Structure formats: structure tokens, C-alpha cells
Amino acid sequence: MAKLILLYTSLCLLVLFNECLATKTSGQQQQFNQCQLDRLDALEPNNRIKAEAGVIESWDPNDRQFQCVGVAVVRRTIEPNGLLLPQYDSAPQLIYIQSGYGILGAVLPGCPNTYQESQQQQHQQGQQPDQHQKIRNFRLGDIIALPAGVAYWLYNDGDSEVVALSLLDTNNQANQLDKTSRHFYLAGNPEDEFQLQGQSPRGQRRQQQQGQGRRERGQRQQGQGNNLFSGFRTEDLADVFNVDEETIRNLQGFQEDRKNIVKVKGRLQVARPPRSREERERLERQEREQEREDEREQQRESRRGGREEREREERQQEREEEREQERERRESRRGGRGRDNGIEETLCTLRLRENIHDPSRADVYNPQAGRISTLNSHNLPVLRWLQLSAEFGRLQRDAIYVPHWNRNAHSVIYVVKGRAQVQVVDDFGQAVFDDELQQGQILTVPQNFAVVKRASSSEGFEWVAFKTNDNAQISPLAGQNSVLRAIPADVLANAFQLSQEDVSELKSYLDQQEITIVRPTRSSSQRKAIA
């Protein structure tokens, strides 16, 4: 009898294991099938929410391209003195600050409140001094990394709009609910940032039915709030927090109509190291310098014959960058910053921010073509936790980012400024995208699909790319580190039916082409004449 019971138990476990394996395999197959793409499109936001102090725009997360790479994207424009309400997300995210500056609050679970208001000032007002977790400044060009489930808020304390682009990695193992981006708001009466646009009629009906059921349940329970507190019974929360029910109803946001971004009355008063007038002036000066640099690049383009002038400007730019590097080193020594030593990177003191615009940190630089900066887990260790990285690039007019592929990551390209001719080629050698990419558009490039960019506007081309690996790596087809240069000459001759002289000329050029962004030395007409 014992043997029969053991045999029966073993068979049950075997069947259960096979079912789990089949379910997992089916889920993986379904996920992989999302990348069976024969065409890519330049995508623009298709949902817009107007809030009291800003605008929220989102891209359809159900688009096949976003389903393939497993991400969702939303862009928030926060007006001066505007506050993005506290929330947390089901997936880790990277926030790129496209313009403006302000402050960020991120609440790491279990960490102490290390910022405290002046007790003397609060006693004068008859209140208890406030304590809270660390507040961080952000500015133009920053990448902010936020783990899943970490509550955060953004406040614009500047004089111009803050534009913040967020990419959420819904395929990340930290998101165990489903492949959907979910924003859990802690305040207000927010709208869903990802609406129904782009879904099939059946999918729309299903989500509408689910949403209607949720609304009806919420109305039966309490009222019509959409934040996390609104689903609980008012009397229970009053007992938990030991306050009156009117205060709880404010928490639940039933009467709130200001949506996701609200206007702060007066100025936001929080305990934080003061941002001095000098720092504000420095931020404004950096924005003006960025504008002047763009103007100088356009002027250089219009004076093609002035070689000496271009060289003088390049030397001046190099001197300016050297001064900027020296200033950053001095600030680093004063502030005690620098590479992590195992103490600064503990959980509660995680460095969540790094500026990717800074020219002095460029990893690839060609004065005639442009520059590229990468952000990965080596220079921002929290990215190892998130399994994400980023790239910022700037190309001058006609400059080319040579054909390459991302070896271990998907790439989501967002155009910051200008235009470029972009081609993406799949595993069949077919161009799945061959068009102009413009400011504000997004293009997804699946892992191992090859891509080339050529700036086509007078102002050049700027982009930021989010990648689904904390140490994303590219394989270029040109340059000293290219695949072709690493293949023996005789293999190239036989593979491409080239003469030894042609192969020698090709490899000689690759030897001279040191980096992956180039400016063509021959025009199209010259190449046709040679041919």
C-alpha cells in the first residue's frame, strides 16, 4: 500500500511539473513571438491628460513594438511650482530629464528619515519638526533610476517647465504581476496614464468591462477616488491613523479634481540642503550655454570653407571642456563624491541620479562628428539592480553613427532634438525601418537588429536610448573594433568575392577609422564618380 501511495504521489508531482513547464514554455513562446516584426514605426504619444499644473502624454503600451521589448513609456511636463503626486510603480524605471530642474523625493522601504526641519522654526509655528527621507536635486540631462515599488514624487522649483520621460521595464523580473505598467498613486484622484488607444476592439471591451467593475465596486465601498487610500473603509483608516474621518476623506481624494500633477500653494517647504542663488544661476547658465553651443554648431555648418575657424573653435571647445572637467573634479573633492567604495552604495544611500549630457563624461568623441555617453552599472551601480542602462548621443549634420547591433539588449530610442535618417535591418537582411526619425518620436530596436543613424537637419541629431541590460554592449560593423576588421583578409575575400586589393583597402580604412561616429570624407557624387 505504501508503495502504491508513493507511486501515485510521484505521478501527481510529475504531471504537475509538466503542466508548470508547459505553461512557462507557452508564456515564453508567446513573449518571444511578440518580436516577429516585419516593420517598425516611429511612434508618437497617443494619449494626453491635462492636469492642473502640467500635461501627461503616453505611448500605447499595447503596440507590438513595446510588447516586443517589454516596456511602457510616458512623458510628463510639469509647470513651475507643479508637483507630480506621490506614487510607486510595478516595474523599475529610468527617468530622463529633457528640460528644466527641480527636486525628487524617493522613499526607500526600511530606511531612516535623515532630513529634519529646524526645531526652533517649528516651535515658533507651534508644530512638531518634520522628518523625512533624503531629497535629491535633478537638472537637465539627468537620468534617475527608480526600483519597482519605491514611492517617489517630483517638484518643479525652477522658472521653466520640467519635461521628464519615463521608461518602465514591464518585462523585468521585479514586475511579477503581469506585463502591464501599473501606477499606484498615493494621493489625489489621478487618471490612468495608459488609456485604451491602440487595443483591439475585444481588448477594449474587456478592459472597459474590468474598469467598469472596478468603478462599481469602488462606488459601493466608498466613493470615486482613484488613489490607494480610496479603496479602504474610511472608519478603518481613521482608527489606523488616529485622526478624524474628514482628514481621511482628504487622503482618499474623493473630491479631488486636480488629477496627477497639482499646483503647490505658495512654494513647497521641505527640509533639504538649500539650493543657493549661485547654484540656480549655474543651472540657468548651463541651459544658456547649451543653446549657445547649438548655435555655434549651426554656424560651423554654414561656414564649410573656414577650416581654420573650425579648428580654432574646436580647440576652444576642448579648453572649455577641460575647464569643466577641472571644475567637476574640484566639486567632487569638496563634496566627497567619486567612485563608490562599498559604503556610499548601501541600500539607504543609493545614488539614484547621474547626468548623461555632461560633455566631459563622453565615452566616444569626434570633434567633426559628435559624441556618445553611456550610463551603465559601472558608473551608476543601482542599474545592476534594475538591469537597465542608457545612452545619450549627439551627431552633427551629415555625421553617421556606424551600423551596429545591441548584442545583449533591446534599445528604445527617443529623439531629443533634430532629425536623422535611420535604418534598421532584421535577421533576413530586410530593412524593417527606413525613414526619418524626428524630435519627440520613439523607435524600438529589438536585440541584434542592426541600426545606422545619419543626422539630416542643420541642428544635428540628439537622442537618448534606454537599454534592457545593465551593461549593454554593441557590435559595430565599422571602425577599429568592428567585426569586419577582426575577420582574416582571406575570409573576407572569399565571403564577399573581393580581390585582395579591395580587402586591403577596406581594412586600411577601418584601421584609420578609430571610433563609431564618423563624418564622411567623400560626398555621394565623388563616390559615384570613382565607381
Q: Residue 43: which region, alpha, beta or left (left: phi > 0; alpha: psi -120 to 50)?
A: beta
Q: Are 76 and 84 in contact (CB under 8 A)?
A: yes
Quick one: fold of 354-471? Jelly Rolls (2.60.120)
**The predicted structure's pLDDT at residue 323:** 60
C-alpha cell at 27: 508564456
State yes or no: pLDDT of 18 exceeds 70. no
- Reported confidence tier of residue 381, pLDDT bands at 50, 70, 90: very high
**The predicted structure's pLDDT at residue 363:** 93
Q: Which amino acid is it at 146? A: L
> Higher-confidence residue: 332 or 174?
174
Q: pLDDT tens digits for 332-341?
A: 444 444 444 4
**The predicted structure's pLDDT at residue 200:** 40
Q: Would you say the CATH fold of 354-471 matches that of 47-221+258-263?
A: yes
SS (H, E, C) 260-320: CEEECCCCCCCCCCCCCHHHHHHHHHHHHHHHHHHHHHHHHHHCCCCHHHHHHHHHHHHHH
Burial string for 144-175 (b: 16+ CB within 10 Å, else e) reads bbbbbebbbbbbbbbeebbbbbbbbbbbbeeb
User: Of the given ranges (105-114, 284-293, 324-333, 480-489), which has the lowest mean pLDDT?
Assistant: 324-333
Which helix (H) or strand (E) segment holds residue 524: the answer is helix 524-530
**The predicted structure's pLDDT at residue 320:** 62
C-alpha cell at 29: 513562446
Distance CA(352)–CA(135), nearest Å, equals 11
Q: C-alpha 343: how far from its chain's center?
A: 27
> Higher-confidence residue: 207 or 37?
37
How much is the average pLDDT of 56-61?
95
Q: Which neighbouring-strand residues pair with 461?
A: 395, 418
Distance CA(308)–CA(48), nearest Å, equals 49
| Number of Cβ within a 10 Å radius of residue 498 | 15
- Reported confidence tier of residue 206, pLDDT bands at 50, 70, 90: very low
Distance CA(428)–CA(391), nearest Å, equals 27
Domain 47-221+258-263 of CATH type 2.60.120.10: yes
Q: Coil, strand or helix: which one is 207? A: helix
State yes or no: pLDDT of 169 exceeds 80. yes
Distance CA(152)–CA(522), nearest Å, equals 51
State yes or no: pLDDT of 287 exceeds 60. yes
**The predicted structure's pLDDT at residue 424:** 97
State yes or no: pLDDT of 362 exceeds 70. yes
Strand 131-132 vs strand 115-116: parallel, antiparallel, or unpaired? antiparallel
Q: pLDDT tens digits for 395-447?
A: 999 999 999 999 999 999 999 999 999 999 999 999 999 999 999 999 999 99
- Reported confidence tier of residue 530, pLDDT bands at 50, 70, 90: very low
Enumerate residues 6+ apart whose C-beta is below 8 A from 205. none
Q: Which of 46, 56, 104, 59 is nearest to 79 (CA)?
A: 56
**The predicted structure's pLDDT at residue 122:** 54
The percentage of residues in the chain with a pLDDT greater than 70, rounded to a whole number, is 70
Enumerate residues 6+ apart whose C-beta is below 8 A from 253. 187, 188, 189, 225, 226, 227, 229, 230
Q: Which amino acid is it at 188? A: G
**The predicted structure's pLDDT at residue 192:** 86
Mean pLDDT rounded to a whole number for the chain: 80
| C-alpha pair distances (Å), 81 with each of 48, 73, 96, 115, 261 | 21, 24, 19, 22, 10
Q: Are 74 and 156 in contact (CB under 8 A)?
A: no
Q: pLDDT tens digits for 468-510?
A: 999 999 999 887 777 888 888 889 889 889 888 888 888 877 7
C-alpha cell at 406: 545591441
Enumerate residues 6+ apart whose C-beta is below 8 A from 164. 75, 76, 78, 84, 95, 96, 97, 98, 154
Q: pLDDT tens digits for 223-244?
A: 467 888 988 999 999 999 999 9
**The predicted structure's pLDDT at residue 26:** 39
User: Of the given ranges (125-134, 218-227, 445-454, 457-466), which has the lowest mean pLDDT?
Assistant: 218-227
Domain ranges of the chain: 47-221+258-263, 354-471
| Number of Cβ within a 10 Å radius of residue 141 | 21
Q: pLDDT tens digits for 240-275?
A: 999 999 999 888 887 667 789 999 988 888 877 766
**The predicted structure's pLDDT at residue 21:** 43
User: Of the given ranges (111-115, 169-173, 216-220, 294-298), which has the lowest mean pLDDT?
Assistant: 216-220
